[in-house]
């Protein structure tokens, strides 16, 4: 199918892009590299090497456990932000100069780092391609489809939306290898029998840009461009696309489904109300888990968290600006002056203005919702509210599963406090299996 003409505004002027070829005939993005080592961030400067994989580039170059990496290509490592940006910008095949302290000696190493391993499956064909969003940023797209497809066959598709964090959707990158959410994502890719599309946020995977500075509108636009790519693929049944969303992605899913005509929505750990309401509710739960009584919580909400989040979300200020005006709020703010959960405050200003509830209400297609009883991030009330809203609007094909013990990260715990405090939980095959079954059901697959 011929791709569509697209106009996008990029730095320097108006860029008219006319792609008269397959959507997959896209320019390949430079492949990112891996360190082949583990590090711990120092309190002063640099990162300490805690382990080096044998036969990898850093080991061959001479780095050893206990070495302190101070600079990469003359860029000093001064904290988590600079280290994250350095690591995220590594490109395979390029030479990197490392300034390293070993005991009292300062050494310089030159190293060419290997690429991140690409996903490979025995029963799936994996395609790495890209889209260019309307802001001129090229974003990585990963598409998997069954190898045993007949010529001319069109398969149902699954479009995957993940949470707000700056975490890659590629399963060969952390946390995809071992984290329970990674297990869930892997099952959706491997076990549904559908064409599956994932798109990386700007700055993640091999995408251009910087996730930590990307606002909500830019991110949402990338999802829309990728969705249109999915529907244009010659082996996809464009009338049978199921949208799966997790966390923030689960609340974006109704918007895409309404706008582009999806066959069904699966939302795992979602919300309905505004982000202002969400943040106030989550603060209440956190303070309760920290052992505060109801009187203390009410005082904290009134004197600290309502003013703090009102200033940031309603008045559209940064946390730094809110605190400059009311310095007493500083002791209650655990976010950065301009960021929250790794995203810029502008992202949340736009999230606050987004009509999540209206998009839920307008869904006329089958909806499957899952909420874990130990999910302290999202509320049971919001999920119940979605069900009642949809049914009042005449949508009766709605199922809400309340999974016993499940938290927000695909892990079963004895209590929400265990999840909140980072205690080990349990994996159950039904965590992923239930979502796979829903995807196949909504796609009409036996």
Q: What is the pLDDT of residues 248-295, one digit of tens each?
A: 999 999 999 999 999 999 999 999 999 999 999 999 999 999 999 999
23: closest CA among 240, 241, 260, 233?
233
Cβ neighbours, 10 Å, residue 123: 11
Place of tokens 């939302």: 267
Q: Of 112, 134, 168, which one is at a domain's C-terminal end?
A: 112
Quick: pLDDT tens for 51-60.
Answer: 999 999 999 9
Q: What is the pLDDT of residues 67-119, one digit of tens each?
A: 999 999 999 999 888 898 899 889 999 999 999 999 999 999 999 999 999 99
**CATH assignment of the domain containing 83:** 2.30.42.10
| Residue 99 domain boundaries | 37-112
pLDDT confidence of residue 80:
87
- Which of 84, 112, 140 represents a domain boundary (last residue)? 112
Percent of the chain with pLDDT over 90: 88
For residue 412, give the CATH number of its domain. 3.40.50.1820
pLDDT of residue 28: 77
Q: What is the pLDDT of residues 314-364, one digit of tens each?
A: 999 999 999 999 999 999 999 999 999 999 999 999 999 999 999 999 999
Q: Which pLDDT score, from 0 to 100, does residue 21 have? A: 41
Average pLDDT over residues 147-156: 95
- Pairwise CA distance, residues 188 & 200, whole Å: 16
Distance of CA 260 to the CA centre of its chain: 21
**What gap in Å lies between CA 40 and CA 47, rounded to an integer?**
5
Number of structural domains found in the chain:
2
Distance of alpha carbon 206 from alpha carbon 201, whole angstroms: 9
Please check whether residues 149 and 261 belong to one and the same domain: yes
Residues in CB range of 250: below 8 A, 6 or more apart: 161, 267, 268, 269, 270, 271
Confidence (pLDDT) at 175:
54
- Report the C-alpha gap between 362 and 132 in whole angstroms: 29
Residue 7 resides in a domain: no
Strands (E), 250-299: 264-268
Place of tokens 């003359």: 74
Mark whether 136 and 249 lie in a shared domain.
yes
Using alpha carbons, select from 213, 188, 233 the residue that is nearest to residue 370. Answer: 188
pLDDT tens-digit readout, 175-233: 555 689 999 999 999 999 999 999 999 999 999 999 999 999 999 999 999 999 999 99
Task: Kindly tell me the burial class for residue 10, based on how many C-beta atoms sit within 10 Å of its own C-beta (0-12, 13-18, 19 or more).
Answer: middle
User: Looking at the domain assignment, is residue 302 inside a domain?
Assistant: no
In a domain? residue 250: yes
Residues in the chain: 446
- Alpha-carbon distance of 222 to 226, in angstroms, equals 6
Residues 389 and 431 in one domain: yes
For residue 158, report the phi and psi dihedrals to the nearest 5 degrees. -120, 120
Residue 426 domain-assigned (yes or no): yes
8 is a domain residue:
no
Same structural domain for residues 135 and 105?
A: no
At residue 403, φ and ψ (nearest 5 deg) are -80, 120
203: left (phi over 0), alpha (psi -120 to 50) or beta: left
- Asked if residue 168 and residue 86 are part of one domain, the reply reads no
**∠ Cα 231 343 303 (to 5°):** 130
Domain co-membership, 155 together with 72:
no
Average pLDDT of the chain is: 92
pLDDT per position as a tens digit, 277-288? 999 999 999 999
For residues 164 and 96, membership in a common domain is answered with: no
Instruction: State how far the Cα of 251 lies from the Cα of 367, in Å rounded to an integer.
Output: 12
In a 3-state reduction of DSSP, which class is residue 331? helix
Whether 373 has a pLDDT exceeding 90, the answer reads yes
Specify if 190 maps to a domain. yes
Structure tokens at 24: 């997959």
Q: Whole-angstrom Cα distance, residue 145 to residue 160?
A: 14
pLDDT value of position 1:
35
Condensed to tens digits (0 to 9), the pLDDT of residues 186-199 reads 999 999 999 999 99
Residue 35 has pLDDT above 60, yes or no: yes
**107 shares its domain with 150:** no
| Same domain as 432, residue 379 | yes
Domain shared by 99 and 129, yes or no: no
What is each CA distance from 437 to 193, 441, 444, in whole angstroms?
11, 6, 11
The percentage of residues in the chain with a pLDDT greater than 70, rounded to a whole number, is: 93
Query: Do residues 237 and 104 both lie within one domain?
Result: no
17, pLDDT greater than 60? no
Q: In 233-305, where do the E strands start and end?
A: 236-246, 264-268
Which of 62, 86, 112 delimits the end of a domain?
112
Predicted pLDDT of residue 352: 98
Instruction: Give residue 105's Cα distance to chain centre.
Output: 41
Instruction: Find out whether 279 and 335 touch, Cβ atoms under 8 Å.
Output: no
In a domain, 132, yes or no: yes
């Amino acid at each position: 199918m011929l791709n569509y003409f697209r106009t996008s505004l990029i730095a320097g002027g108006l860029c008219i892009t006319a792609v008269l070829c397959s959507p997959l005939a896209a320019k390949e993005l430079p492949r990112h590299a891996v360190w082949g080592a583990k590090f711990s961030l120092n309190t002063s400067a640099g990162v300490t090497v805690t382990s080096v994989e044998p036969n990898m580039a850093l080991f061959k170059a001479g780095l050893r456990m206990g070495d302190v990496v101070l600079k990469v290509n003359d860029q000093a490592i001064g904290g988590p932000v600079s280290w994250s940006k350095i690591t995220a910008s590594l490109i395979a095949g390029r030479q990197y100069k490392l300034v390293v302290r070993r005991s009292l000696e300062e050494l310089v190493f030159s190293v060419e780092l290997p690429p991140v391993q690409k996903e490979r499956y025995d029963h799936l064909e994996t395609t790495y391609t890209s889209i260019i969003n309307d802001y001129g940023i090229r974003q990585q797209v990963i598409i998997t489809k069954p190898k045993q497809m007949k010529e001319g066959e069109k398969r149902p598709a699954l479009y995957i939306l993940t949470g707000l964090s700056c975490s890659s959707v590629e399963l060969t990158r952390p946390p995809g290898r071992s984290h329970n959410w990674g297990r869930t994502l892997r099952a959706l890719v491997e076990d549904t029998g559908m064409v599956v599309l994932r798109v990386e946020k700007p700055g993640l995977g091999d995408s251009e840009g910087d996730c930590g500075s990307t606002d909500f509108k830019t991110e949402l636009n990338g999802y829309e461009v990728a969705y249109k790519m999915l529907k244009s693929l010659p082996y996809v049944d464009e009338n049978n696309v199921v949208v799966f969303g997790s966390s923030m992605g689960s609340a974006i899913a109704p918007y895409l489904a309404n706008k582009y005509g999806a066959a069904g929505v699966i939302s795992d750990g979602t919300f309905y109300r505004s982000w202002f309401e969400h943040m106030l509710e989550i603060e209440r739960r956190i303070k309760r888990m920290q052992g505060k009584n109801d009187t203390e919580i009410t005082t904290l909400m009134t004197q600290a968290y309502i003013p703090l989040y009102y200033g940031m979300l309603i008045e559209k200020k940064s946390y730094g600006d809110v605190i400059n005006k009311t310095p007493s709020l500083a002791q209650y703010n655990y976010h950065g002056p301009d960021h929250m959960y790794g995203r810029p405050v502008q992202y949340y200003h736009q999230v606050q203005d987004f009509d999540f509830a209206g998009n839920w209400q307008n869904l006329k297609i089958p909806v499957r919702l899952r909420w874990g009883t130990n999910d302290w991030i999202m509320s049971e009330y919001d999920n119940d509210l979605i069900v009642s809203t949809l049914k009042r609007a005449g949508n009766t094909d709605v199922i809400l599963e309340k999974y016993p013990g499940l938290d927000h990260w695909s892990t079963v715990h004895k209590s929400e406090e265990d999840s909140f405090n980072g205690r080990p939980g349990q994996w159950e095959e039904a965590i992923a299996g239930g979502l796979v079954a829903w995807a196949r059901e909504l796609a009409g697959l036996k």
